[in-house]
């Protein structure tokens, strides 16, 4: 091992200030990862509090008021503080410049600024919690959100601020993909994770400004009573819902597209087979990003829409199923006749395929107006949403962490524990959320701390398995961090899964402070397993 290879971004330069003021995308990514995981645990804890309250029908542990705070904060923290910032912020930051062969993102200072803006916004969210919470639900629907005496303003201000971080990261990534690729790395030679981040960033820069202005209008409504959302002053509360979902439906794709990208990396590498339908997957990313802007009305089927708008929004919603289906089939065909190895990342990818497919198909149920009238605001929606967001995005995120963990941090976790935890996540997840589909079909409304006796059996199943789910996720994450604490190092030249993209073939694990010792020269495409043999090398 040369002296140069011992030097990596984690140990050079040293000192706390070199971290706090770092312009290195990998360090910034690590800071996002740590803060993201902390908020993930905080949001998860709130979820468990709710599940334990729901184990029995009455108000057993917490009051209705606290329950209202718990689900609002759970939603807001998970969405605005963990999922939206953490996947692009953590995995995207660490990997994007490596994957395009660049020394850094296009604007490293702006990248650090994004992290601090995110942290500043997060402070407002934490203040909200300490100051007694907020009880409007994460959607902040008017007119209640303009009247509630809870901390609507600090929370929406926090979300407004975090929005800027999201926009700046999106701008940075788009500029990086367009302008920082090494010569020869054409669009169709980019890893699909890069395509996914690109699609995500496009949605971030185009949808987030609308959320920002919506939050401003909501705050002005509270401070000045501007009347835009207030029917007593001639305004329209439904206009708020239009504004909110014009952002928040595309935001669903901000949350799921990076997960698609992760799966597109894991499956070919762990099947040692060229990805099937590269261009289909790449363009389906862009078409999902585009169609995502045209379907917001399907959140408002019961808000007093005209029948004509209902039909149009329902019709367009079905179109989202096409590019999504294209992806699922392409991944399955990639595995077909491949050398599938059951590593932890692959376990998560398989779990993703199963769970996300259920999440996607139940989304088609909800996109149908006639069904949605019955299922709106029931546990069916809760289950669908979690199959997509947790079964999809968070499972893929965990898969991605396990896939790139040895690359990013130069350490290897215990793979047996990782596999057991992955199995626990899969079973625990289904046990928690599948009963919720049934609850919803039987008419259990969401956002209530108490319920009718008839639902007790399904609710107690759900609560039992949520405990297993929580423990499994905790074990999975601790197993990762334990390898870091124990310094269970891999050889810097390791490529344990036999990956073909630049981060595996051209830099050490963990990477060099400037990413590559010299500018990489592209020798093959990202998934050319049919042309080139890449050895799996894993030494301690």
Partner 1 sequence: MAHHNPDAPSHLKHYFHDVNQQYETSKFAMWAFILTEVLTFAGLFVAYIVYRSWYPNMFIDAHLLLDVNKGLMNTIVLITSSLTMALAIWAIQKNNKRLSVLMLAATFIFALVFLGIKYLEYSHKFEVGQLPGEFYSYMGPDAVHLNNPHIFFSIYFIMTGLHGLHVAIGMGLIAWLIYSTQKGNLTSEYYTPMEMIGIFWHLVDLIWIYLFPLFYLIG
Which spans of this chain sit near partner 1 (rule: CB under 8 A)? 4, 102-104, 106-108, 167, 171-172, 174-175, 178-180, 205-210, 212-214, 216-217, 220-221, 224-228, 230, 233-236, 239, 243, 246, 512-514, 517-519
C-alpha–C-alpha distance, residues 211 and 213, integer Å: 5
Give the residue carrying structure tokens 């999975």: 476
Residue closer to partner 1 by CB (options 257, 458) is 257
HSE-up of residue 99 (Cα within 13 Å, Cβ side): 30
Q: Which residue, among 321, 515, 524, 498, has the nearest Cα to 406 in the 3D structure? A: 498
Residue closer to partner 1 by CB (options 107, 481) is 107
Min separation Cβ 104 and partner 1, Å: 4
Angle between helix 237-271 and helix 278-291 axes, rounded to 10 deg: 170
| DSSP designation for 301 | T
Whether the Cβ atoms of residue 250 and residue 293 lie closer than 8 Å to each other: yes
Q: Counting runs of H as helices and runs of E as strands, what totals does the chain give?
A: 20, 0
Min separation Cβ 305 and partner 1, Å: 14
Residue 428 structure tokens: 């625990």
Residue closer to partner 1 by CB (options 205, 396) is 205
Residue closer to partner 1 by CB (options 227, 325) is 227
| DSSP designation for 65 | H
Residue 201 structure tokens: 């960033």
C-alpha–C-alpha distance, residues 405 and 38, integer Å: 18
Min separation Cβ 168 and partner 1, Å: 9
Min separation Cβ 365 and partner 1, Å: 30
User: How far is CA 86 from each of CA 39, 83, 330, rounded to the nearest angstrom?
Assistant: 10, 5, 27
Residue closer to partner 1 by CB (options 178, 279) is 178
- For Cα atoms 201, 204, 207, give the angle at the middle one, nearest 5 degrees: 145
Residue 259 structure tokens: 């997960």
Min separation Cβ 292 and partner 1, Å: 14
Q: Is the dihedral of CA 378, 380, 384, 389 positive or negative?
A: positive
Whether the Cβ atoms of residue 278 and residue 333 lie closer than 8 Å to each other: no
Min separation Cβ 180 and partner 1, Å: 7
Min separation Cβ 103 and partner 1, Å: 4
C-alpha–C-alpha distance, residues 233 and 436, integer Å: 40
Q: Dihedral through CA 512, CA 518, CA 521, CA 526, nearest 10?
A: 0
Residue closer to partner 1 by CB (options 150, 204) is 204
Residue closer to partner 1 by CB (options 296, 465) is 296
Q: Which residue, among 42, 41, 8, 35, has the nearest Cα to 24 in the 3D structure? A: 8
List strand residue ranges (DSSP E) for 354-445, in order.
none
Q: How far apart are the first and last CA of the chain?
A: 13
Min separation Cβ 184 and partner 1, Å: 13
Residue closer to partner 1 by CB (options 148, 206) is 206
Q: Which residue, among 162, 164, 117, 159, has the nearest Cα to 138 in the 3D structure? A: 159
Q: Dihedral through CA 84, CA 415, CA 31, CA 165, nearest 10?
A: -10
Min separation Cβ 224 and partner 1, Å: 6
Residue closer to partner 1 by CB (options 103, 274) is 103
User: How far is CA 248 from each of CA 80, 406, 498, rounded to the nearest angstrom?
Assistant: 11, 34, 38
Min separation Cβ 219 and partner 1, Å: 11
Min separation Cβ 212 and partner 1, Å: 6
Residue closer to partner 1 by CB (options 12, 531) is 12
Residue closer to partner 1 by CB (options 436, 507) is 507
Min separation Cβ 359 and partner 1, Å: 29
Residue closer to partner 1 by CB (options 25, 402) is 25
Min separation Cβ 29 and partner 1, Å: 16
Residue closer to partner 1 by CB (options 238, 478) is 238
List b or e across 45-74, with b for residues whose CB sees 16 or more CB atoms inside 10 angstroms.
Answer: ebbbbbbebbbbbeeeebeeebbbbbbbbb
């Amino acid at each position: 091992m040369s002296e140069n290879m011992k030097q990596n971004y984690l140990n050079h330069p040293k000192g706390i200030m070199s971290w706090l003021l770092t312009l290195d995308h990998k360090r910034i990514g690590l800071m996002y990862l740590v803060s993201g995981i902390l908020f993930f645990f905080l949001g998860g804890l709130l979820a468990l509090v709710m599940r334990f309250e729901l184990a029995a029908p009455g108000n057993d542990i917490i009051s209705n008021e606290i329950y209202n705070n718990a689900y609002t904060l759970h939603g807001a923290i998970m969405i605005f503080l963990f999922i939206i910032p953490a996947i692009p912020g953590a995995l995207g930051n660490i990997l994007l410049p490596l994957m395009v062969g660049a020394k850094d993102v296009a604007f490293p200072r702006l990248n650090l600024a994004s992290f601090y803006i995110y942290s500043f916004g997060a402070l407002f969210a934490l203040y909200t919690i300490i100051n007694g919470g907020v009880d409007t639900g994460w959607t902040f629907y008017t007119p209640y959100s303009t009247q509630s005496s809870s901390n609507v303003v600090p929370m929406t201000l926090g979300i407004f601020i975090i929005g800027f971080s999201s926009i700046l990261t999106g701008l940075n990534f788009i500029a990086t993909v367009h302008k920082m690729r090494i010569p020869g790395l054409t669009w169709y030679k980019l890893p699909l994770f890069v395509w996914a981040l690109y699609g995500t960033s496009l949605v971030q820069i185009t949808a987030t400004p609308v959320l920002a202005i919506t939050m401003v209008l909501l705050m002005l409504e509270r401070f000045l009573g501007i009347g835009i959302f207030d029917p007593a002053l001639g305004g329209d509360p439904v206009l708020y819902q239009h504004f909110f979902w014009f952002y928040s439906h595309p935001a669903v794709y901000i949350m799921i597209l990076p997960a698609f990208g992760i799966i597109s990396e894991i499956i070919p590498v762990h099947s040692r087979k060229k990805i099937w339908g590269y261009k289909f997957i790449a363009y389906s990313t862009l078409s999902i990003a585009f169609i995502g802007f045209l379907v917001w009305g399907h959140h408002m089927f019961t808000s007093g829409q005209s029948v004509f708008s209902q039909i149009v929004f329902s019709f367009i919603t079905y179109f989202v199923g096409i590019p999504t289906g294209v992806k699922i089939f392409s991944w399955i065909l990639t595995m077909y006749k491949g050398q599938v190895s059951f590593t932890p990342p692959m376990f998560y990818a398989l779990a993703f395929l199963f769970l996300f497919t259920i999440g996607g198909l139940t989304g088609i149920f909800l996109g149908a107006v006639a069904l949605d009238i019955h299922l709106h605001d029931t546990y069916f929606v809760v289950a669908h949403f979690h199959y997509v967001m947790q079964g999809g995005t968070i499972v893929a995120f965990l898969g991605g962490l396990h896939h790139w963990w040895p690359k990013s941090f130069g350490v290897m976790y215990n793979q047996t524990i990782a596999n057991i935890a992955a199995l626990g996540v899969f079973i625990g997840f289904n046990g928690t959320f599948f009963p919720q589909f049934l609850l919803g079909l039987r008419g259990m409304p969401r956002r209530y701390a108490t319920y009718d006796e008839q639902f007790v059996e399904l609710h107690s199943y759900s609560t039992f398995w949520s405990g297993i789910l929580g423990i499994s996720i905790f074990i999975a994450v601790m197993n990762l961090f334990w390898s870091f604490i124990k310094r269970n190092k891999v050889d810097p030249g390791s490529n344990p899964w036999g990956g073909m993209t630049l981060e595996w073939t051209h830099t050490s694990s963990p990477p060099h402070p400037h990413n590559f010792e010299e500018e990489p020269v592209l020798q093959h495409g990202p998934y050319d397993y049919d042309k080139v043999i890449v050895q799996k090398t894993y030494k301690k």
